[in-house]
């Protein structure tokens, strides 16, 4: 895949990055982290951390040394090579995210519980959307038994998109099962490790600074299997982290350092994503705020913090607190998507489809967000300045008061320099009214519908699919994916 | 007003900036500018520019441009009639406000599009006076109900009595410009007092590519002579009136606005002048003008970078949309360009409030919505403050692992300073939002606009002063 390079926007000055990093090391040393899981505590204990009950105080030298072993760059593959992502440096990729409970029905527009069909249908939609680079399972299938949920959401996603599929596992056993299924598709464990087209997200941290037992086990299991894993921690400024942006950044950085250190001490070199998602609490409604502009600022800043320690990063942009695909969704998403892309974040999830912060998704919103992401990616191309683009010859030719419409320079560069929107309407009001006066949501809904009717993703090999169905309790009917 | 510096986003490299500047100097000295205004042409000629009267062509040497840039003020203070509204343009300070001039408005009551009148000039001024994130007013609408000769003075007068923020306006007649300056002098108390605290300023333009026309050349000459602040935008459109490449457009724009800057400094060295850009892109499918494209944001952020290269205060454009209604497109187009240009550190970002449909139509409710978008963009510009107090190690010591910061004193003392509080964006859970009747942003904006127009009392002008103005300028409408 084309590598989009960010870094044109730097929310934190160099000295502020260092200050936050130093402060985070002090938090780990002085305040420490709470780890209930004995095997995890032992890993730190053996390397010289101070243990006091469940509190683990990590010396700065230990944290830095452990983190330095993490790979600076790694592959998150697609089932098709053209969908491969190389994570690291300031290369930007954007995709879906969430564990939404609610889906806005594409036909009625009404809010209803998410289903397994949505996990599959949205995967198919996103397989076709060119600016969506990976597929993090967007909604929880509430129509199937929880005990078969993990394997089924991975399957439904893998069967409908060849982009990298990321999701969570509720137990180490479930993670093993998912990896086994993926290995069958890959043609063996080694092939999967070489080209991991699945990845995991683990919300191992209960902010502030408290490791969750079971998720930490899952995290260790995934790392042991050398499958890429994102360390997700999402404190809310003012509630589970300090209200100040800088204070929250200190905390998320400390949390990431502790998690990455644990993995690298246990499994040196395991591919791990620095996964801080600093957010904020609304002080009036006491709700989680994804659409605040501060959310964009902080998530842009965490990619600088991750770059500082040389670990590829996962963060969040594209959330909105709007309930429907309206103007609020438009501006809130645009802010955080532009800020995080320009900051050079590697794996920006939640970038498409989300509404009501992380609680809902909508089919038409994916199409709208594909457009906003496209605009953000255009920003990363920036302004190309060279002898050709300066166009002095064209200017000489046109002369004062001239025109460039028919200039060969125009014909040569017009396609290269401009992003062409699919949702945005650029007609005058009269033509727009004559065509039915549809708003952005309705135009997007129709585009989504067309994709769902016509797009056919590259399927899993039928023989392998048969084997998978024999081995695992797959609930997606075969005819639905063909 | 407290200045908020941007510059965290850099759309051009130093090398790119230098190349564009050098290329523009080549354009000015090799190709030159067509100057149709006799006053302007003579000024250039008398000061030694290479001129061809038959072709009306003026070629500006590198020295001429560099000398003008050297005497042009590096900081221009655009005042409000109240000091709290003063704008310190220059460096990377960011201010955002309205723009125009448009002929139509979306009516607040009916939601239908109709021609604008003097009443709209007044009401929009009053609305913007109350919107706290709108930092200045570029006079946004044209009173279609007035004869052309009466437009300029009435646009400014009606805005002055309804809004005490800095007022900048396009101008339609030379007499209108001179009368407006004289009226402002009366309000200020003296010509000197107005120059010390200029609360009005003007926009003229250079026609792309590379042409100073008759009327705007004359007006620019007189405004410079009067020593009033002036922005000199060019509006090149990619592939139409400039090369299709953004770098090519910026080269032409840089040459064009600099030709105006040179003129002002030749006429009256030290004239407060803003390097200015209203450029945008065209849609390559139709070659039609678009205002909400992402390239539009890149272009205007790039223009700010070019002005910063010369340390000239600048005026740019952002926050527009091609949408016809209050929808998702409207939101993301405005936000993308607004945040880019703001973060690039542009000084005077106009058109950022109130316009829809290619900046061809004003809309009351849209001013209220855009006030929110500007508030967010300015919060992004303010950035992340990193100090011992904001890092909050003490709060960590108090709260500890697994604790909660809600009731910590650090939260109480910093929450308002760190978090922007939106007025329109909904942050409730869906269930509560539905219980409240699923209010839309648009409905809330309409209600807010109506409330402001009903309740807001602007500073206005003292009655006796207003009587004097009416006596001196009988065109002023009641």
Nearest chain B CA: its distance from A469 CA (Å): 38
Chain B touched by A34 (CB under 8 Å): yes
Instruction: Classify burial at B355, counting beta carbons within 10 Å of its beta carbon; exposed 0-12, middle 13-18, buried 19 or more.
Output: buried
What are the residues facing B52 on neighbouring strands? B57
A residues 77..96 contacting B (CB < 8 A): none
Cβ <8 Å between A247 and B326: no
B5/A contact by beta carbon, under 8 A: no
Rounded CA-CA distance A350/A355 in Å is 10
- Nearest in space to B236 (alpha carbons), one of A375, A421, A395: A395
Over the stretch B3-62, which tens digit does the pLDDT of each residue have? Answer: 999 999 999 999 999 999 999 999 999 999 999 999 999 999 999 999 999 999 999 999
Rg (CA), chain B: 23
The separation between CA B475 and the C-alpha centre of its own chain, rounded to angstroms, equals 28
The CATH architecture one would assign to domain A4-12+67-381 is: Alpha-Beta Barrel (3.20)
Chain B nearest CA to A156, separation (Å): 28
Bridge partners (DSSP) listed for residue A243: none
pLDDT tens sequence for chain A (482 residues): 567 999 999 999 999 999 999 999 999 999 999 999 999 999 999 999 999 999 999 999 999 999 999 999 999 999 999 999 999 999 999 999 999 999 999 999 999 999 999 999 999 999 999 999 999 999 999 999 999 999 999 999 999 999 999 999 999 999 999 999 999 999 999 999 999 999 999 999 999 999 999 999 999 999 999 999 999 999 999 999 999 999 999 999 999 999 999 999 999 999 999 999 999 998 777 889 999 999 999 999 999 999 999 999 999 999 999 999 999 999 999 999 999 999 999 999 999 999 999 999 999 999 999 999 999 999 999 999 999 999 999 999 999 989 998 899 998 998 888 999 999 999 999 999 999 999 999 999 999 999 999 999 999 999 999 999 999 999 988 756 54
- Tell me whether residues A291 and B427 touch, CB distance under 8 A: yes
Check CB contact of B415 with chain A, cutoff 8 Å.
yes
User: Can you state the angle between helices A116-128 and A363-381, rounded to 10 degrees?
Assistant: 30
CA distance B261 to B72: 8
Task: Tell me the three-class secondary structure of chain A, residue by residue.
Answer: CCCEECCCECCCCHHHHHHHHHHHHHHHHHCCEEECCHHHHHHHHHCCCEEECCEEECCHHHHHHHHHCCCCEEEECCCCHHHCEEEECCEECEEECCCECEEECCCCCCEEECCHHHHHHHHHHHHHCCCCCEEECCECCCCCCHHHHHHHHHHHHHCCCCCEEEECCCCHHHHHHHHHHHHHHHCCHHHHHHCCCEEEEECCEECCCEECHHHHHHHHHHHHCCCCEEEEECCEECCCECCCHHHHHHHHHHHHHHHHHHHHHHCCCCCEEEEECCEEECCCCCCEECCCHHHHHHHHHHHHHHHHHCCCEEEECCCCCCCCCCHHHHHHHHHHHHHHHHHCCCEEEEEECEECCCCEEEHHHHHHHHHHHHHHHHHHHCCCCCHHHHCHHHHHHHCCCCCCCCCHHHHHHHHHHCCCCCCCCCCCHHHHHHCCCCCHHHHHHHHHHHHHHHCCCCCCCHHHHHHHHHHCCCCCCHHHHC
Contact B128, B121 (CB under 8 A): no
What's the rounded Cα separation, in Å, for the pair B312 and A258?
Answer: 48
CA distance B128 to A351: 34
Q: Can you tell me the distance from the alpha carbon of A155 to that of B84, in angstroms, rounded to the nearest whole number?
A: 61
A70 token code pair:
């993490």
Contact yes or no for B476/B157 (Cβ under 8 A):
yes
Least CB–CB distance from B380: residue in A250, A283, A335:
A335
Q: A113 and chain B: CB distance < 8 Å anywhere?
A: no
List chain A residues with CB under 8 Å of B51: none
Q: What ipTM does this complex have?
A: 0.95
- Check if B470 contacts A (Cβ < 8 Å): no
Distances in whole angstroms, Cα of residue B191 to Cα of each of A45, B52, B160, B183, B222: 78, 37, 17, 10, 15
Whether residues B327 and A289 touch (CB distance < 8 A) is answered with: no
**B167 DSSP β-pair partners:** B137, B200
**Are the C-beta atoms of residues B194 and B185 closer than 8 Å to each other?**
yes
Q: How far, rounded to the nearest angstrom, does the alpha carbon of residue B318 sit from its chain's CA centroid?
A: 8
| Ranges under pLDDT 70 in chain B | none
Q: Which fold has domain B69-382?
A: TIM Barrel (3.20.20)
For chain A, positions 53-82, list CB contacts with chain B under 8 A: 55
Question: How far is A479 from chain B, CA to nearest CA, in Å?
Answer: 35
Comparing C-alpha atoms, which of A247, A248, A271 is closest to residue A260? A271
Domain boundaries, chain A: 4-12+67-381, 387-417
Put simply, the answer to whether B244 touches A410 (Cβ < 8 Å) is yes
CA angle B210, B212, B214 (to 5 degrees): 150
Q: Which residues contact B422 (CB under 8 A, 6 or more apart)?
A: A292, B372, B375, B376
Instruction: Give exposure, B206-230, as e/b (b: 16+ Cβ within 10 Å).
Output: bbbbbbbbeebbbbbbbbbebbbbb
pLDDT in tens, B108-122: 999 999 999 999 999
**Beta-carbon contacts below 8 Å between A and B:** 403
pLDDT in tens, B45-54: 999 999 999 9
CA-CA distance, B279 to B299, in Å (whole number)?
A: 7
- Which residue do the tokens 């050349």 mark? B217
Q: Searching chain A, which residue's CA lies closest to the CA of residue B251?
A: A390
Is B146 an 8 Å CB contact of chain A? no
Give A449→chain B minimum CA distance, Å. Answer: 18
Contact: B328, A439; criterion CB under 8 Å: yes
CB atoms within 10 A of CB A334: 32
How many angstroms separate the CA of residue B336 from the nearest CA in chain A? 6
CB of B6 closer than 8 Å to CB of B343: yes
Q: How far apart are CA A403 and CA B239, in angstroms?
A: 8
- The predicted-structure confidence for B387-437, as pLDDT tens digits, reads as follows 999 999 999 999 999 899 998 999 999 998 999 999 999 999 999 999 999
Q: B-contacting residues of A 438-467, CB under 8 Å?
A: 439-441, 444
Tell which B residues from 295 to 314 touch A, by Cβ distance under 8 Å: 295, 297-298, 302
Contact across the interface for B425 and A405, Cβ inside 8 Å = no
Interface contact flag, A293 B377, Cβ < 8 Å:
yes
Q: What is the pLDDT of residue A482?
A: 46
Using CB atoms, pick whichever of B13, B209, B332 lies closest to residue A331.
Answer: B332
Judging contacts by C-beta atoms under 8 Å, the chain A residues touching residue B334 are: 330-331, 334
Nearest to B432 by CA among A286, A106, A238: A286
Task: At A198, list the tokens.
Answer: 């699945």
Q: What is the largest CA-CA distance in chain B?
A: 81
Backbone angles phi, psi at A26, to 5 degrees: -65, -40
Are B316 and B349 in contact by the 8 Å Cβ rule? The answer is: yes
Domain residue ranges of chain B, discontinuous segments joined by +: 69-382, 388-418
Helical H segments across B197-327, by residue range: 214-226, 246-267, 294-309
List residues bridging with A40 in a β-sheet.
none
Rounded to an integer, what distance in angstroms lies between the CA atom of residue A217 and that of residue A223? 10
Length of chain B as a residue count: 478
User: Which of A238, A394, A439 is closest, CB to CB, to B248?
Assistant: A394
pLDDT at position B235 is 94
Q: Tell me which residues of chain B, numbers 43 to 102, contact chain A at a CB-CB cutoff of 8 Å.
A: 57
Q: Is B322 on the interface with A (CB under 8 A)?
A: yes
Q: Is the bond into B101 cis (omega within 30 degrees of 0)?
A: yes
Token pair recorded at residue A291: 């659409």
- Asked whether the beta carbons of residue A301 and residue B333 sit closer than 8 angstroms, the reply is no
* Structure letter (DSSP) for residue B286: T
B103 touches chain A (CB under 8 A): no
Nearest CA in chain A to B438: A323
The nearest CA of chain A is from the CA of B210 a distance in Å of 5
CA angle A286, A292, A295 (to 5 degrees): 100
Structure tokens at A259: 């998690």
B442 close contact with A: CB closer than 8 A? yes
Chain A positions touching B292 (Cβ under 8 A) are 424
CA distance B43 to B60: 12
Contact B259, B206 (CB under 8 A): yes
> How far A256 CA lies from chain B's nearest CA (Å)?
14
3-state DSSP assignment of residue B142: coil
Task: Identify all chain B residues contacting A31, using CB atoms and an 8 Å cutoff.
Answer: 396-397, 400-401
Contacts of B427 in chain A (CB under 8 A): 282, 284-285, 287, 289, 291, 321
């Amino acid at each position: 895949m084309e590598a989009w390079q960010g870094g044109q926007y730097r929310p934190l000055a160099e000295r502020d990055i260092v200050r936050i990093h130093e402060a985070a090391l002090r938090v780990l040393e002085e305040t420490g982290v709470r780890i209930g899981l004995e095997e995890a505590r032992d890993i730190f204990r053996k390397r010289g951390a101070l243990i006091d009950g469940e509190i683990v105080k990590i010396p700065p030298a230990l944290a830095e040394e452990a983190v330095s072993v993490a790979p600076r760059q790694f592959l998150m593959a697609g089932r098709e090579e053209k969908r491969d992502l190389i994570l690291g440096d300031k290369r930007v990729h954007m995709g879906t995210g969430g564990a939404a409970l609610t889906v806005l029905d594409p036909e009625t527009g009404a809010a209803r519980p998410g289903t397994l069909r949505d996990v599959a249908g949205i995967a198919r939609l996103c397989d076709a959307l060119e600016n969506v680079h990976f597929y993090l399972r967007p909604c929880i299938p509430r129509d199937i038994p929880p005990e078969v949920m993990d394997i089924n959401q991975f399957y439904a996603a893998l069967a409908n998109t060849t982009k990298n599929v990321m999701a969570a596992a509720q137990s180490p056993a479930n993670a093993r099962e998912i990896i086994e299924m993926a290995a069958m598709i890959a043609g063996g464990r080694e092939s999967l490790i070489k080209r991991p087209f699945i990845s995991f997200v683990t919300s191992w941290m209960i902010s502030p600074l408290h490791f969750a037992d079971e998720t930490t086990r899952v995290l260790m299991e995934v790392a042991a299997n050398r499958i890429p894993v994102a360390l997700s921690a999402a404190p809310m400024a003012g509630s589970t982290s300090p209200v100040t942006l800088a204070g929250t950044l200190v905390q998320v950085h400390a949390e990431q350092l502790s998690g990455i250190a644990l993995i690298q001490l246990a499994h040196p070199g395991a591919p791990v994503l620095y996964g801080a998602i600093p957010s904020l609490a609304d002080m009036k409604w006491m709700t989680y705020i994804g659409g605040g502009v501060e959310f964009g600022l902080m998530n842009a800043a965490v990619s600088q913090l991750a770059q500082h320690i040389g670990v590829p990063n996962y963060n969040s942009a594209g959330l909105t607190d709007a309930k429907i695909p309206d103007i609020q969704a438009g501006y809130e998403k645009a802010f955080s998507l532009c800020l995080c892309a320009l900051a050079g974040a590697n794996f920006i999830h939640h970038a498409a489809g989300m509404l009501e912060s992380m609680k809902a998704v909508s089919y038409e919103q994916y199409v709208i967000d594909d457009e906003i992401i496209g605009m953000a990616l255009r920003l990363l191309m920036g302004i190309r300045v060279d002898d050709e683009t300066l166009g002095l010859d064209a200017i000489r030719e046109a002369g004062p008061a001239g025109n460039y419409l028919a200039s060969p320079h125009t014909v040569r560069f017009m396609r290269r320099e401009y992003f062409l929107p699919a949702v945005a309407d650029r007609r005058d009001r009269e033509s727009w009214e004559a065509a039915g006066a549809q708003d952005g949501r309705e135009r997007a809904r129709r585009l989504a519908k067309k994709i769902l009717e016509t797009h056919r993703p590259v399927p899993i090999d039928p023989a392998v699919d048969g084997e998978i169905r024999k081995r695992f309790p797959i609930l997606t009917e075969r005819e639905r994916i063909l | 007003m407290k200045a908020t510096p941007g510059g965290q986003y850099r759309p051009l490299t130093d090398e790119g900036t230098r190349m564009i500047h050098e290329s523009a100097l080549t354009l000015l000295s090799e190709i030159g500018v067509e100057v149709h205004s006799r006053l302007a042409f003579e000024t250039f000629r008398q000061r030694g520019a290479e001129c061809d009267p038959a072709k009306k062509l003026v070629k500006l040497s590198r020295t001429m441009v560099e000398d003008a840039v050297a005497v042009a003020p590096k900081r221009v203070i655009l005042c409000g009639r109240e000091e709290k509204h003063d704008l310190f343009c220059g460096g990377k300070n960011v201010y955002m406000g309205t723009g125009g001039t448009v002929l139509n408005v979306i009516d607040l009551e009916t939601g239908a599009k109709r021609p604008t009148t003097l009443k709209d000039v007044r009401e929009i001024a009053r609305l913007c006076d109350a919107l706290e994130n709108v930092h200045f007013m570029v006079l946004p609408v044209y009173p279609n109900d007035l004869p052309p000769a009466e437009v300029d003075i009435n646009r400014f007068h009606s805005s002055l009595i309804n809004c005490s923020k800095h007022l900048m306006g396009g101008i339609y007649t030379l007499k209108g410009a001179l009368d407006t300056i004289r009226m402002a002098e009366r309000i200020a108390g003296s010509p000197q007092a107005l120059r010390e605290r200029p609360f009005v300023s003007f926009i003229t333009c250079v026609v792309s590519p590379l042409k100073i026309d008759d009327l705007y050349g004359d007006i620019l000459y007189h405004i410079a002579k009067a020593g009033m602040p002036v922005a000199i935008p060019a509006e090149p459109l990619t592939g139409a009136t400039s090369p299709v490449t953004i770098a090519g457009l910026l080269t032409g724009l840089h040459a064009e606005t600099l030709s105006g800057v040179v003129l002002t400094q030749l006429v009256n060295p030290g004239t407060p002048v803003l390097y200015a850009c209203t450029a945008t892109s065209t849609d390559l499918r139709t070659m039609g003008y678009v205002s909400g494209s992402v390239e539009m944001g890149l272009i205007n952020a790039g223009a700010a970078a070019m002005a910063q290269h010369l340390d000239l205060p600048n005026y740019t454009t952002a926050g527009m949309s091609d949408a016809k209604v209050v929808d998702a497109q409207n939101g993301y187009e405005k936000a993308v360009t607004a945040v880019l240009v703001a973060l690039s550190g542009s000084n005077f970002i106009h058109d950022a409030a109130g316009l829809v449909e290619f900046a061809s139509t004003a809309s009351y409710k849209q001013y209220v919505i855009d006030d929110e978008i500007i508030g967010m963009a300015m919060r992004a510009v303010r950035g992340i403050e990193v100090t011992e107090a904001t890092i909050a190690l003490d709060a960590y010591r108090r709260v500890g692992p697994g604790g909660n910061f809600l009731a910590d004193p650090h939260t109480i003392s910093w929450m308002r300073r760190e978090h922007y509080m939106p007025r329109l964006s909904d942050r409730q859970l869906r269930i509560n939002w539905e219980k409240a009747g699923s209010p839309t942003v648009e409905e809330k904006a309409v209600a807010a606009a109506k409330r402001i127009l009903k309740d807001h009392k602007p500073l206005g002008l003292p009655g006796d002063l207003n009587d004097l103005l009416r006596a001196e300028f009988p065109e002023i409408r009641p």
